[in-house]
Amino acid sequence: MGWIEILDRAEVVTDKHHIRGSTGGGEIRRAPNLVPLRITCLPNDQDKMFKLSDKILLLCVGEAGDTVQFAEYIQKNIQLYKMRNGYELSPKAAANFTRKNLADYLRSRTPYHVNLLLAGFDETDGPGLYYMDHLSALAKAPFAAHGYGAYLTLSILDRYYRPDLTRDEAVDLLKKCIEELNKRFILNLPSFSVRLIDKEGIHDLEKLMPVGAK
Amino acid sequence: MSGKYVFSTSVCRLYQVEYAMEAIGHAGTCLGILANDGVLLAAERRNIHKLLDEVFFSEKIYKLNESKSRYIIYNIVETYGIPFLPSHRYLLQYQEPIPCEQLVTALCDIKQAYTQFGGKRPFGVSLLYMGWDKHYGFQLYQSDPSGNYGGWKATCIGNNSAAAVSMLKQDFKEGEMSLSSALALAVKVLNKTMDVSKLSAEKGVYRDTCIQSAWSMQHMQQC
């Protein structure tokens, strides 16, 4: 048993736009022995979301250091594409580009241990959410989650997600997920930052605090 | 390549590149026309020998990509396999067909590299590229052995290309060309610039013209 690292996020996609939620902070590590030697709660405002372009967001979690390194590498490459060609990569192309890179590094001596969610809005295809894990498996999904929180939230999303959710309904669904985490999850996750992508671009919504959290 | 670079007081000339471009002027004519609803490439095909077996549908026009973007290139001499690499490398990385101009740029970079380092002679190839992508719609590009390229509404390379281009300049109607009128214009121009006696209404000719458009494959044999 090693350190347990908890980083939670949940994401909801509707026909018109995306909402992704992730924890604003709340990283807790627990030592391997039965009696916990150290419990450190570091509520920091670490933003795990990387803006790849005006309409594409990348949420990157996993091994410390790998996340930022890989995400920034992808981010700069996507921006380079735009500078070279004058137009941006579509979310689907960006997701596949990310996947190819992750896959290539996976089969080298220096793999990146990161889990990703990529969300974007395409002019022709509309909103899209791409789930990618550290083994470079890519799937386009209506909703997705990574981490221990996924065990709890995916069932909520399964139950209440509909393809024709409105924006407010999607935010409500996200709140439901967070309530569930607050109720059932052992760790206290004080706040979640939420971003929305629609045809106008990326918008910051208000931070979600679970009721009863400190 | 001794003598490749000649510096005079006013101009630096790369003779190998110029020779290559001149050689292309003797090759079979190919013209391309951009219409509102498509792009057209028409190429003269010289049947060298009656006994020569037809393997390819056309020896000069190649399709690089399916589904939405099709890039068909007119090859004069020797770059058969080269365009496939950049276009499929892009497809592998982005799971999307390569946008037209990026493919043109990739190939022209290769061609230009041969004029600057390596000591090898340049590719004796002028290419016409036609395709469609979601950024700029239907497009037509031309590149030559120097690695220069440009986007065109209508252009011609090969034998008698200057005459063809001036005809196209007169008859091409900006914004009003449909594929069928482009086809008619292409045939008319080719008729003038190829040896007229061999392209006629009677049966039994030496030369066929093969026309492929971006969206519909029509093999038109003019007898």
Tens of pLDDT along B111-134?
Answer: 899 888 888 888 888 888 888 888
Chain B contact set for A98 (CB, 8 A)? none
pLDDT at residue B197 above 60?
no
- Nearest by CB to A100, which of B93, B99, B101? B93
Across the A/B interface, how many CB contacts are shorter than 8 Å?
21
Of A87, A96, A124, the CB nearest to B94: A96
CA separation for the pair B78, A92 (Å, rounded): 35
Rounded CA-CA distance A44/B116 in Å is 54
Between A152 and B8, the more confident residue is A152
A214 located within any domain: no
What pLDDT is attached to residue B202? 25
| Region A159-167 average pLDDT | 90
Is the distance from CB of A24 to CB of A49 less than 8 angstroms? no
**Chain A (75-134) residues lying within 8 Å, Cβ to Cβ, of chain B:** 85, 87, 89-90, 92-93, 96-97, 100, 124
Among B19-28, B74-83, B133-142, which stretch is predicted with the lowest mean pLDDT?
B74-83
Given an 8 Å threshold on Cβ–Cβ distance, is A89 in contact with B94? yes
With a CB cutoff of 8 Å and minimum separation 6, the contacts of A116 are A58, A59, A60, A61, A71, A98, A102, A130, A131, A132, A133
User: Is A90 in Cβ contact with B96 (below 8 Å)?
Assistant: yes
Q: Is B222 on the interface with A (CB under 8 A)?
A: no
Res. B56 pLDDT band, cuts 50 70 90: low
If you average pLDDT over residues A186-214, what whole number do you get? 81
With respect to residue B106, please indicate whether it lies within any of the assigned structural domains: yes
The predicted complex's ipTM stands at 0.77
- Please tell me the predicted confidence (pLDDT) of residue A59: 92
Instruction: Name which residue leads in pLDDT, B188 or A25.
Output: B188
What's the total number of domains in chain B? 1
Q: How confident is the model at residue B19 (pLDDT cuts 50, 70, 90)?
A: confident
Query: Tokens 């390819």 appear where?
Result: B56
Q: Is the pLDDT of residue B42 over 90?
A: no
Residue A83 has a pLDDT of 96
> Taking residues B195-218, what's their average pLDDT?
36
Set of chain B residues whose Cβ sits within 8 Å of the Cβ of A124:
134
Going through A63-159 in order, the beta strands assigned E by DSSP cover 114-122, 126-132, 138-140, 143-146
> Is A90 or B26 the better-scoring residue by pLDDT?
A90
At B36 the pLDDT is: 86
Which residue did the predictor score with more confidence, B198 or A181?
A: A181
Domain encompassing residue A85:
2-205
- CATH number of the structural domain spanning residue B78: 3.60.20.10
Q: Is residue B215 part of a domain?
A: no
Between B172 and B2, residue with greater pLDDT:
B172
Confidence bin at B200 (pLDDT 50/70/90) = very low
* Domains identified in chain A, total number: 1
User: Mean of the per-residue pLDDT values for chain B?
Assistant: 73
By C-alpha distance, the chain B residue nearest A81 is B102
DSSP tag of A196:
E
CATH code, A117: 3.60.20.10
In a domain, B99, yes or no: yes
Residue B3 has pLDDT above 70, yes or no: no
Q: What is the pLDDT of residue B7?
A: 54
Is residue A137 predicted with pLDDT exceeding 70?
Answer: yes
Interface test with B, best of A80, A100, A101, A125 (most B CBs within 10 A): A100
Asked, for residue B178, whether it belongs to a domain, the answer is: no
Q: Which one is predicted more confidently, B83 or A80?
A: A80
Task: State the average pLDDT for chain A.
Answer: 80
- Measured between beta carbons, the chain B residues lying within 8 angstroms of A96 are 93-96
Q: Which residues of A touch B101 (CB under 8 A)?
A: 85
pLDDT, mean of residues A143-161:
91
Q: Do B94 and A87 touch (CB under 8 A)?
A: no
Q: Which residues from chain A sit within 8 angstroms of residue B135, using beta carbons?
A: 87
Task: Compare all CA atoms of chain B with the CA of A122 and give the residue at the minimum distance.
Answer: B134
| Inside any domain, residue A211 | no
Answer whether residue A169 shows pLDDT above 70: yes
Q: What is chain B's Cα-based Rg?
A: 18
Q: Give per-residue pLDDT as tens, A61-75.
A: 999 899 999 999 999
Instruction: Choose the weakest-confidence range: A13-17, A39-43, A185-189, B200-204.
Output: B200-204
Interface test with A, best of B96, B105, B109, B132 (most A CBs within 10 A): B96
**Parent domain of B146:** 15-30+57-161
- Label each residue of B11-36 as H, E or C: CEEEHHHHHHHHHHCCCCCEEEEEEC
Q: What is the pLDDT of residues B58-77, one digit of tens each?
A: 556 666 765 333 343 444 44
- Identity of the residue in A85, A100, A124 whose CB atom sits nearest the CB atom of B134: A124
**pLDDT cut 90: percent of chain B above it:** 16
| Residue B138 lies inside a defined structural domain of this protein | yes
Answer whether B96 sits within 8 Å of A93, measured CB to CB: yes
**A118 located within any domain:** yes
